[in-house]
Amino acid sequence: MDKLRYVKPAKKWIDALPLGNGKTGVMVYGGVKSERLAFNNSTLWSGYPKDHDNPESLKFLDEVRELIFKGENHLADKLVEEKLDGAYSEGYLPLGYIDIAFKGVKTLGYERTLDISKAIFTTKQLGFIREAFCNYPSDVFVYKALSKKPFDLTITTKSKLRSEAIYDGKNVILRGQAPDHVVPSYVGAVPNAVQYDKSKGMAFSLCAYPLTDGVLKWGSRGLSIKGATTLTLFVTTETGFVSYDRSPITSTEQVVEKCLSKLNSLTLDYDALKAEHVKDYTELYDRHSLSFGGNANAYTDSIFYKAKLGKITPELVELFFNYGKYLTIAGSRKGGQALNLQGIWNDSVRPPWSSNYTTNINAQMNYWPTSQIGLSECLIPYLDMVNELKERGKSTAKVNYGASGFCVNHNTDIWRKTAPVQGNPQYMFAPLCGAWLTNEIYEHYSYGDIPSYTDKIKNILSENVKFILDYLVEHDGFLVTCPSASPENAFSKDGKRCYLDYASAFEVGIVRQSLNDYLELIPSGELSDKVKEALTKLYPFQEDIDGIVEWSKYYPTPEMGHRHFSPLYAFHPARQIGYYSHPEQREWVRRLMHTRIYNVKQYFGWSGAWALALAARLREKDTCALVISRVLGKAIFKNLFDMHPPRLFQIDGNFGFVHGVNEMLCQIENGVAELLPALPDFLLSGEVKGQRLRGGYAVDFKWENGLVTHVTAHSTKPLKIRDLHLDENITLVNAEVIK
């Protein structure tokens, strides 16, 4: 199923449907008598490059460690919050709107559709059709309205940022300037939350050329067109962004000139641009396919409301999966920025969590499925971001922590901020987030699809390991991280709520994965010898009544159903605790996962996606079914965007769900694949093509009644498959069964 279909237009931004080419993002409302097109540009952020490093942090680091080792965690928390903190990140911003008001069109027979197999939006009414797409090769958004009878319309454009709309006799132009600083929305109502300095905030522009057979007239209400039967809008966007380490262009005239130059260089041929777009997009989208059967023409509203009532259909699972694949291609392409908390789609000047890059799970989750579904090209903006963070993070490592290499804390932005923010240490203090970002890069590299980036990846891994080796300290005969958090969680000690300890399971897992990744890629050398020695001294994982121990020792936690599954990092997304290779520790993971899943009080899309992947790796098909029902029944909007409580859009759950389904269908451990390890009973028949696996494998397979009937592997050597969930008459091509 690859179409989102609705019989009513969007009334709000969150009901609209997204288009994008990795740089320009557009939310299309599809109104009956009007149209709203809401634009973003992936480089439009508040702020400019700043040095956020804190020399005072290093002065107090040893004192913090001493307090923690003495058991005075609460005092350590206070000292970290006072002395080891930093400044807030900047925010991702909305660019502006184009509004079109139609007169003389029929309102009957309405339907709006987003065909995610071609990335084309369509609105149909009686005798009136509109179509839109966002072309990547030519970097242009195109919108066409076609009617059997003449109609009139008015085009206006505006922005929530400081701006003005003009008409140069040919193009409708929106030009403006971004704030130089925006205080995060979670800080609350504060004076001067949105600050403008013309000498610092980046300029931006939107330029739209209308091609029509109607008569054009510019007035105080915008551009009016009378007696048209066709209108095609060609829209380009630009900003003053230059580089993460260079001040942006603040001159609106320069940015408008750049925007118009791009628009004027285009061949304004709708059919040619559409054909170019479809060819480019489908080459990526068609590499992977998934089908669970069912009604491919079901209306999205219908299956959405069934899910709200507890009836999860195969159609919705398939559509939500394909939608995540679509959003990856639409939101992350070479030349654009990495996907942030809202992908590339945002409507607020002070969006939730600044719509930044939150690196204690969310930025990484955005790319979890990318290699699995054959979209390695879409990974490049993420890899480029981490490479830039590596350069910026060298200073933070040295100044804040007295270490070599690089580090990144839990929030970053387009200016590649790497120092901590202000606030509670449970999220603020997180210098190993750079290691998690690095581990994700190596996970993707292991699929064999980005060999040309080998040297760059080796350098990132080396700088990451240098920081880890310097940050580790010896305590009671072990190497430990200290201070050490378990993202956004707390524990009770001596009647007080504490946030920092040493050797949290989360950080031990990150460190083990980083060091082992390094040795896998660079097995020998002076640094490799140090890595090998460090691995022999690392703090071990431990067990308690709830399963794996979250901190250095067991402490009760005030929130049994905490949304983060950070203590389980070594099991997923990392590979330091294997299902088959570490059966005892696997059961520790299982117990803590159950504790959190069955005690949860709010349903977070991204947390549900993580839970789905964990349950799949634990081969728990019934738990997978439960989590799917929670995500699709309680944590998505009608346009299938992921929901974060109370009702906020956050896109990571869309991508995490795709990954979770992939884990249900196919996994590989120690070079042996397992098909259908955790298939829920309501998905008993289906087919996958182009599923990618670590080690350079790709596999197609079908199943009926829960048993695999056909397998075709695409690789230079046969794919080894565990003798589980296989039909006795299975057909194998370039694959062999391991008893």
611-634 pLDDT per residue, tens: 999 999 999 999 999 999 999 999
CATH number of the domain residue 17 falls in: 2.70.98.50
Residue at which a domain ends, from 282, 307, 327: 282
* Domain final residue pick, 491, 520, 543: 543
d(CA 180, CA 199): 9
User: Are 238 and 365 in the same domain?
Assistant: no
What's the pLDDT tens digit per position in 637-662? 999 999 999 999 999 999 999 999 99
Mean pLDDT of the region 379-385: 98
Averaged pLDDT for residues 441-461: 96
Structure confidence at residue 157 as a pLDDT band (50, 70, 90): very high
Same domain, 202 and 245: yes
pLDDT at 295: 81
Q: What is the pLDDT of residue 602?
A: 85
Helix then strand then coil, % of the chain, to nearest 5: 35, 30, 40
Residue 465 in any domain: the answer is: yes
Average pLDDT of 684-706?
Answer: 96
At 433, which CATH number? 1.50.10.10
The two three-digit tokens of residue 644, written as one number? 């974060």
Note down the domain range covering 425. Answer: 55-83+348-543
Tell me if 718 is assigned to some domain.
Answer: no
Per the CB < 8 A criterion, the answer to whether 543 and 588 are in contact is: yes
Q: How many domains does the chain have?
A: 2
Q: Do both 98 and 76 map to the same domain?
A: no
Q: Write down the pLDDT at residue 296.
A: 80
Q: What percent of the chain stands above pLDDT 70?
A: 100
pLDDT, tens digit (0-9, with 9 covering 90-100), for 503-514: 999 999 999 999
pLDDT tier at 739 (50, 70, 90 boundaries)? confident
For residue range 277-292, list pLDDT tens digits in order: 999 999 999 999 999 9
Do residue 169 and residue 244 come from a single domain? yes
> Do 25 and 60 reside in the same domain of the chain?
no
**Range from 12-16, 24-28, 191-195, 602-606 carrying the lowest mean pLDDT:** 602-606
Q: Does the pLDDT at position 102 exceed 90? A: yes
Model pLDDT, residue 107: 86
Q: Do residues 242 and 356 both lie within one domain?
A: no
Pair (147, 72) in one structural domain: no
Q: Is the pLDDT of residue 106 over 90?
A: no
Is residue 398 in some structural domain?
A: yes
One domain for residues 267 and 415:
no
* Mean pLDDT confidence for 24-42: 97
On whether residue 713 sits in a domain, the answer given is: no
* 724 within some domain: no
Q: Is residue 570 part of a domain?
A: no
Mean pLDDT of 69-84: 97
Residues 175 and 63 in one domain: no
Q: What is the pLDDT averaged over residues 205-216?
A: 96
Short-list 464, 505, 460, 501, CA closest to 484: 501
Same domain, 40 and 63: no
Identify the domain boundary among 260, 282, 304: 282
What pLDDT does 221 receive? 82
Rounded percentage of the chain residues whose pLDDT exceeds 90: 96
Q: Would you give the distance in Å from CA 200 to the centre of its chain? A: 28
pLDDT band for position 601 (cuts 50, 70, 90):
confident
Q: At 174, is the pLDDT very low, low, confident or very high (cuts 50, 70, 90)? A: very high
| Phi and psi at residue 549, to the nearest 5° | -75, 130
* 77 and 181 co-located in one domain: no
Is 569 within a domain?
no
pLDDT of residue 29: 98
φ, ψ for residue 185 (rounded to 5)? Answer: -65, -30
How far apart CA 110 and CA 122 sit, in angstroms, is: 11
The answer to whether residue 684 sits within a structural domain is no
Tell me the mean pLDDT in the region 196-209: 97
- Taking the CA of residue 201 as centre, how many other CA atoms within 13 Å lie in the half-sphere pointing to its CB? 24
Residues 36 and 162 in one domain: yes
- Which pLDDT belongs to residue 220? 79
Residue 294 has pLDDT above 90, yes or no: no
Average pLDDT over all residues of the chain:
96
